[in-house]
A and B are shown apart, each in its own frame.
Chain A
């Protein structure tokens, strides 16, 4: 097929364009759209987390897992699959359904220098244990003036899944990022998941690691260096998922995927959007966000959680404090609806940001929103 094209068109600049049009959309093209280099293979987020846990447990014998169904059930979402068989019941511990109790036990073990990885089946249940996360873990290093450090990781799915209702759909990024002494990470891709979880486990401070259930099964291309067992990503640094020059969209976790889709749509309308994958909610990479806003002069913050006192509010304030004169338009905020999550599918769709919401907000920030119909 290509041979015929080549004979017709001959060589030259035309050929390249023709070939690009003829070439079917391959994985490589998708990668280029996502901003990754030539990938060695694809990996699901689930696999990324599993391999990260596996490697960290094998590297450091003081790392152990604790949570509901992490052992014999192979993990409620199969994140910890195979680890019980590999490391034994001394290091992969199934707990009763007593978050306050087992979180306290894990923090106490961390006081003694072990490195627990506590799984919450979802972060909604972490509220049962939130006193231990904040009062026993986050504040200990400060209150003891450095004597007691707590090298613990709290991980689990965060945010809305599909149709699970109000009590199982809340996003806790803003809650935990509020507290000094905690580090809060929110990976998006498989690379993020692997690198950030490894950093979190190695970190000597308490880390809240917010995953997303709907991302577990999603595949991302990864390069060979990600597969290396010493791979890790720095905490506190955001990633520019897509470069742009007209508007900045900040997002974390599942919303990064939505933002990238929105950026695609916007690019067809001539708006080049820069998508920042925050990766780290606390410490927030203010430098990256501000640098991007100074470049593009417009900002849309995107998150899945409730809007009031959310992550987007902090980002907006950071930009107002540091880059106010660079803003050409008010900062736009897209967040989950300010209601407990409904169950009905149509209402649920309205309660979570959708791609058109992001596109609309971006256009508003670019002063390209559809004009209101003038009344005669």
Chain B
């Protein structure tokens, strides 16, 4: 059939290499083909699906291709680890490729997948590319988690792949939570939570299964039973190694995990079942050729004969190769060529990934929070390295406090007197910041009262944030008449197209008002002066934010919440705009 027809009929989520097949002379037919699985399904309190799997030649060749890519990638990762380009943990999936590929063939990208740390191939199956895989393994910027996650923390949220988790068994309740969200939003999709035979004994798994069954969540718990939990064989770890029956009241299905068609059939069946009836357990009888991780040779707890035996008799790729040759979908030479091209593709990806640089040092402090409020994050020596969580920008080691304390009484002094006070009260750097002998307490209290001036007095006018008190009452000057000193922030100039800092309901037309009108408004939006969703109108926001300046304190509740006093003496601030703003109604 024409390549164009192939492209139309194959789901667009397929890896682009399927177009490679289209260009070949090998079969790209999409005529249905029915193949029997190697063994029948064993089931627990449910009727098993049929052994006859409907597929197409094109799909089978895609299986071969995708599994070969995965196999090649894992072997390449092995070499990279031994070359010390990959550090820490590296858990390899070779031998288990059929589970990843078969599952992906049965579902769509709106279904979610979550797995543990053996996640490289699942990431690829979900649409990840080789370059980002290798870059993440080597800790480079081009990695899927920008080098900050590592082998165990691959994520692809746009493809509903939620990782990548290092704590054994934790991903199962998380997967049930993903299913919960799908049900909550009434999406007709399911979640596949993958775990191993070792994790199958975790208590939280049963807790999550209980809740999923109670609430009928579309959760599919897939036990990738490779018969060894790290170095412990399943018969030593589990009293009942029939993992598909462990659900007790939850139906289960045991599947030959080395047969990609059986996996596809089972996952299709499970998805339909889960959406209709609630959770189901799948046990994939599979095998890993490598040890648990790269630090485990994998041969101290099992014999080499066992490993080579499985490789000879049950290898998923060989099985598909035999299938292809038996049905004459391609010649051996063509398959060999395909494998050669895959090898080259993987090598190219590694070379490209090696070119990617290590993450920038500022990345140490990014993504700690989604919304950091500009609070400080510290390096090992905080006097050397401090950063602001909001921007991840590193500073020169002085805390925000030391950098920016301003006091209004000094501002109210005449300039010569103010300079005198500031000069006296400026705290110098070490070693000159030791308390001078003989300075009497009252003078230091004066210094404390008119504490550090901003270190760069030529800083553009930033508004001093006077806090009256956060409950929004009138000012309570202390008994000594001193008004509380507060920090001044230096807000960077916002370019016009700055995204509105995570306030999706703020209309972009409104944001310039908030950011540009006065710094008080900028601070209000940045500090989280909450504008309730759906209730934004420019006048009410402006009035609320700047209200205190013009005396509209408390006019709309936001004034006290953002606790900002616009510096009404500063030219360009808009108290006049606020003064003329109508008092907003606070009803919804």
**How far does the alpha carbon of A135 sit from the alpha carbon of B166 in the complex, in Å?**
9
> A322 is contacted by which of B402, B441, B532 (Cβ under 8 Å)?
B402
Q: Is the CB of B532 within 8 A of A105?
A: no
In this complex, how many residues of chain A approach chain B with their Cβ under 8 Å: the count is: 92
How far is it, in angstroms, between the C-alpha of A237 and the C-alpha of B523 when the chains are bound?
A: 13
Query: How long is the Cα–Cα vector from A290 to B452 in the complex, in angstroms?
Result: 12
The answer to whether B528 and A191 have CB atoms under 8 Å apart is no
Q: CB distance B448 to A295 under 8 Å?
A: yes
Q: Is the CB of A98 within 8 A of B174?
A: no
Most B Cβ at <10 Å: residue of A93, A136, A183:
A136
B498 within 8 A of A: no
Residue B153 contacts which of A62, A96, A143 (CB distance < 8 angstroms)? A143
Beta-carbon contact of A234 and B472 below 8 Å: no
**Residues of A76-116 whose CB lies within 8 A of B:** 90, 93, 95-96, 98, 100-114
Q: Which of A1-9, A195-203, A208-216, A351-359 contacts B (4 or more CB under 8 A)?
A: A195-203
| Cβ < 8 Å to A, chain B residues 158-189 | 162-167, 170, 172-182, 184-185
Closest B residue by C-beta to A205:
B369
Q: How far is the CB of A83 from chain B (nearest CB, A)?
A: 16
Supposing A230-B530, A291-B485 touch, asked if A111 and B174 sit within 8 A by C-beta, the answer is yes
Chain B 432-450, CB within 8 Å of chain A: the 1/0 string? Answer: 0111000001001100110
Bound CA–CA A100/B207 (angstroms): 7
B182: min CB distance to chain A, Å? 7
In the complex, what's the smallest C-beta–C-beta distance from A114 to chain B, in angstroms?
5
Assess the A234–B527 pair: CB atoms within 8 A: yes
Segment with Cβ contacts to B, from A10-18, A167-175, A240-248: A240-248
Name B's interface SS. loop
Tell me the minimal C-beta distance from A175 to chain B in angstroms. 18
A132 to chain B, nearest CB (A): 7
Q: Is A51 an interface residue (CB 8 A)?
A: no
A233 at the interface (CB under 8 A from B): yes
Contact between chains at A135 and B373 (CB < 8 Å): no
Residues on B with beta carbons closer than 8 Å to the beta carbon of A62: 184
**A136 contacts B184, CB within 8 Å?**
no
Q: Is A147 at the interface (CB under 8 A from chain B)?
A: yes
B560 touching A225, Cβ below 8 Å: yes
B412 at the interface (CB under 8 A from A): no
Cα A202 to Cα B503 with chains together (Å): 10
A37 within 8 A of B: yes
| CB neighbours of B215 from chain A (8 A) | 93
* In the assembled complex, A67 has its CB within 8 A of some CB on chain B: no
Question: Are B400 and A287 in touch, CB under 8 angstroms?
Answer: yes
Q: A147-B157, A225-B559, A235-B528 are in contact. Are A283 and B485 (CB under 8 A)?
A: no
Query: Which listed residue, A98, A140, A234, touches B528 by the CB 8 Å rule?
Result: A234
Kindly identify, within residues 55 to 80 of chain A, every residue whose CB is under 8 Å from any CB belonging to chain B: 59-60, 62, 64
Contact B177 A204 (CB under 8 A): no
Q: Which of B61-69, B143-151, B416-424 is near enough to bind chain A?
A: B143-151
B368 contacts the other chain (CB 8 A)? yes
Choose the segment among B40-48, B71-79, B345-353, B475-483 that binds chain A (4+ C-beta atoms closer than 8 Å): B475-483
Q: Given the complex, which residues of A lie within 8 Å of B299, measured CB to CB?
A: none
Cβ B371 vs Cβ A204 within 8 A? yes
Residue B469 CB within 8 A of the other chain:
yes
Q: Does any Cβ of A come within 8 Å of B563's Cβ?
A: yes
The answer to whether B473 and A104 have CB atoms under 8 Å apart is no
Give CA–CA (A329, B146) in the complex, Å: 47
- Enumerate B112-150 residues with CB–CB distance to A below 8 Å: 112, 114, 145-149
Contact across chains for A143 and B148 when beta carbons are under 8 A apart: yes
What are the residues of chain A within 8 A of B176 when measuring CB–CB?
A: 101, 104-105, 108
Q: Which residue of B lies closest to A277 (CB)?
A: B470
Q: Distance in Å from the Cβ of B302 to the closest Cβ of chain A?
A: 30
Is A286 at the interface (CB under 8 A from chain B)? yes
Tell me whether B157 and A148 are in contact (CB under 8 A). yes
Let me know if A254 is at the binding interface, CB within 8 A.
no
B373 x A291 contact (CB < 8 A): no
A272 at the interface (CB under 8 A from B): yes
- A199 and B371 CA atoms in complex are apart in Å by 12
Residues of B within 8 A of A272 (CB): 478-479
- Give CA–CA (A230, B543) in the complex, Å: 14
- CB of A144 within 8 A of CB of B153, answer yes
Instruction: Give A85 Cβ to nearest chain B Cβ, in Å.
Output: 19
**B285-293, B550-558, B568-576: which one contacts chain A?**
B550-558
Task: Give Cα distance in the complex from A271 to B524, angstroms.
Answer: 36
Docked-complex contact A131 and B177, CB < 8 angstroms: no
Q: Is A325 an interface residue (CB 8 A)?
A: yes
Contact B528 A239 (CB under 8 A): no
A261 contacts B by Cβ under 8 Å: no
Residues of A within 8 A of B588 (CB): 229
- Bound form: Cα–Cα A144–B586 in Å: 39
* CA gap between A111 and B179 in the complex, in Å: 11
Instruction: State the interface size on chain B (CB cutoff 8 A).
Output: 108
* Residues A248-275 near B (CB distance < 8 A): 272, 274
Question: Do B174 and A136 touch (CB < 8 A)?
Answer: yes
Contact A195 B173 (CB under 8 A): no
C-alpha gap A235/B61 in the complex (Å) = 55
Tell me whether A36 is interfacial, beta carbon within 8 Å: yes
- Interface set, chain B 380-437, CB cutoff 8 A to A: 382-383, 389, 399-402, 405, 427, 433-435
Tell yes or no: B314 within 8 A of A by CB: no
Decide: A295 near B473, CB < 8 A? Known: A64-B184, A101-B211, A105-B211. no
Could you mark each residue 254-283 of chain B with 1 if its beta carbon is under 8 Å from any beta carbon of chain A, else 0?
A: 000000000000000000000000000000
Q: Contacts A96-B207, A233-B561, A321-B382 known; A144 to B371 CB distance under 8 Å?
A: no
Q: Which residue of B lies closest to A101 (CB)?
A: B207
Q: Which residues of B contact A103 (CB under 8 A)?
A: 173
Assess whether B371 is in contact with A203, with CB atoms less than 8 Å apart: yes
Contacts of B580 in A (CB 8 A): none
Residues of B within 8 A of A226 (CB): 471-472, 557
B313 contacts chain A at the CB level, 8 A cutoff: no
Q: How far is the CA of A229 from the CA of B427 in the complex (A)?
A: 44
The complex places the Cα of A105 from the Cα of B163 at a distance, in Å, of 15
Q: Mark B521-534, 1 if CB is under 8 A from A, else 0.
A: 00000011111111
Contacts of B305 in A (CB 8 A): none
Q: Which of B170, B185, B486 contacts A135 (CB under 8 A)?
A: B170
Q: A245, B173: Cβ atoms under 8 Å?
A: no
Q: Chain B residues with Cβ under 8 A from A132's Cβ? A: 170, 173-174
B502–A59 CB distance below 8 A: no
Q: Which residues of B contact A297 (CB under 8 A)?
A: 441, 444-445, 448
**A302-B47 Cα distance, complex, nearest whole Å:** 63
A148 and B366 alpha carbons, distance in the complex (Å) = 14
- Complex contact A283–B375 (CB within 8 A): yes
**Chain B residues whose CB sits within 8 angstroms of the CB of A321 once the complex forms:** 382-383, 399
B163 cross-chain contacts in A, Cβ below 8 A = 140, 143-144, 148
Q: In the assembly, what is the distance between CA of A233 and CA of B206, in Å? A: 39
Interface presence of B307 (CB below 8 A): no
Interface centre among A38, A199, A225, A274 (most CB of B within 10 A): A225
User: Do residues A294 and B472 form an inter-chain contact, with CB atoms below 8 A?
Assistant: no
Closest to B564 in A: A234
Contact A101 B173 (CB under 8 A): yes
B246 at the interface (CB under 8 A from A): no
B295: A residues at CB distance < 8 A: none
Other CB < 8 Å A-B pairs besides A132-B173, A230-B531, 15 of them? A35-B473, A98-B204, A105-B208, A108-B178, A108-B180, A144-B155, A223-B560, A228-B556, A228-B557, A230-B530, A231-B530, A234-B563, A243-B478, A245-B480, A294-B451
24 interchain pairs, CB-CB under 8 A:
A98-B204, A101-B208, A104-B174, A105-B180, A109-B177, A109-B181, A109-B184, A142-B368, A151-B370, A180-B368, A222-B471, A223-B473, A223-B560, A234-B529, A234-B561, A237-B563, A245-B482, A272-B478, A287-B486, A291-B451, A295-B448, A297-B448, A321-B399, A326-B448
Q: Which residues of A contact B (CB under 8 A)?
A: 35-38, 59-60, 62, 64, 90, 93, 95-96, 98, 100-114, 131-132, 135-136, 140-149, 151, 180-181, 183, 191, 195, 198-199, 202-205, 222-237, 239-240, 243-245, 272, 274, 283, 286-288, 290-292, 294-295, 297, 321-322, 325-326, 328
